[in-house]
Amino acid sequence: MMDRKAPLVVALTVLVGLFLVLQAAFVVDQTERAIVLQLGKPVSGMDEGLEPGLHFKIPFVQNVVFFDHRLLEYDAPAAEILTLDKKNLVVDNFTRWRIKNPLLFYETLNNIDSGQARLNDIIYAELRVALGRFTLTEVVASERSGIMEEVTARTHELLKDYGIEVIDVRIKRTDLPPENRQAIFGRMRAERERQAKQYRSEGREEAAKITTGADRERTVLLAEARRKAQELKGDGDANATEIFAKALSQDPEFYAFQKSLEAYREGFRDKTEFVFTPDNQFLRYLEKDTP
């Protein structure tokens, strides 16, 4: 009788042993970290959590909690934030983060949903502080990169106490509330037009300065050229006078003859009729017996 029951006992023993082994053994995937709890208290996987691989626990007494160790993304809902110039700005953001310390994360937040809720609260609190130091134009146009670096650093420090590592925080969209959009756009357009008008006015003023300077320089150059021309003309007249004086001193009669020929040429060029007395000196070189 006992011999017939022996195989059954062995089989049951093997099955129970196999069941216990299956209950005791567990595998941590490459994308996960884990901690082992005994009656709700952690007994292994402290700090960084259990590494990937095969692990064991006490069946029915201990249980395993797994945590995603990959880089996670949280897409936050939009919220209104007040800027330095008292403008409401609708902002939404996304965050890249990971569970750095599974045990600390479990003790403070317990699960992903609670972690995302805490992310949302802390990130928007830091965004309100950071954006509140800048005007709407600065936030939209130029300061966003620096703001997000500051928010990322501050959020990372605050969430370390929850076992979370914040990799990056980015603003997806900045917009105006519908009720304020048209009024603010109108003011921004008016400001841009005012600046454009100022730039045009400054440009015209600068152009007038350049034109005035050019006119003044031209006047100076023309005056200098006229002065130089008068000097040259004076020098030429002086040279001519000197030459004539030398000619007169060397042969006064020939000089008088030459000047008379020039006078005849100029006087008779237009065939104008003149009336002279016979003894007029102007005609003396036309007389036949003139030497």
Tokens representing 249 are 């001193």
Q: Is the pLDDT of residue 228 over 70?
A: yes
Q: pLDDT tens for residues 127-140?
A: 999 888 888 878 87
The sheet with strand 62-68 has its strands ordered as 41-44, 32-38, 62-68
The per-residue pLDDT for 120 is 92
pLDDT in tens, 240-285: 777 766 766 666 666 666 677 676 666 666 666 666 666 666 666 6
Give the model's confidence band at 114: pLDDT under 50 very low, under 70 low, under 90 confident, else very high. very high
Q: Which residue would you say has higher pLDDT here, 291 or 122?
A: 122
Q: How far apart are CA 16 and CA 7, in angstroms?
A: 14
Question: Residue 29: CB partners within 8 Å, gap ≥ 6?
Answer: 52
pLDDT in tens, 161-196: 999 999 999 988 877 777 666 666 677 788 888 888
163 contacts 108 by C-beta, under 8 angstroms? yes
What does the longest C-alpha to C-alpha distance in the chain come to? 191
d(CA 203, CA 3): 114
For 71, residues 6+ apart whose C-beta sits below 8 A from its C-beta are 96, 97, 98, 167
Of 90, 97, 108, give the one whose Cα is nearest residue 75.
Answer: 97
Size (the chain), residues: 291
Strands (E) across 155-258 are located at 164-175
Q: Is the pLDDT of residue 98 over 90?
A: yes
Distant-in-sequence, close-in-space partners of 97: CB < 8 Å, separation ≥ 6: 71, 72, 73, 74, 119, 159, 164, 165, 166, 167
Q: Which of 187, 192, 203, 125 is nearest to 158 (CA)?
A: 125
Domain residue limits, the chain: 21-70, 72-182, 254-291
Q: If you ran DSSP here, which 8-state letter would residue 50 be given?
A: B
Residue 135: predicted pLDDT = 85
**Dist. CA 168–CA 74, nearest whole Å:** 11
For 16-67, how does the pLDDT look when each residue is reduced to its tens digit (9 = 90+)?
667 666 677 888 888 888 888 888 787 876 667 788 888 888 888 888 888 8
Distance CA 90, CA 119 (A): 18
Q: What single string gives the DSSP state of each residue in 61-127?
A: TEEEEEEE-SPEEEEPPPEEEE-TTS-EEEEEEEEEEEES-HHHHHHHT-SHHHHHHHHHHHHHHHH
Q: How confident is the model at residue 4 (pLDDT cuts 50, 70, 90)?
A: low
Mean predicted confidence (pLDDT) in 212-226: 84
Q: Which CATH code is given to the segment(s) 72-182?
A: 3.30.479.30
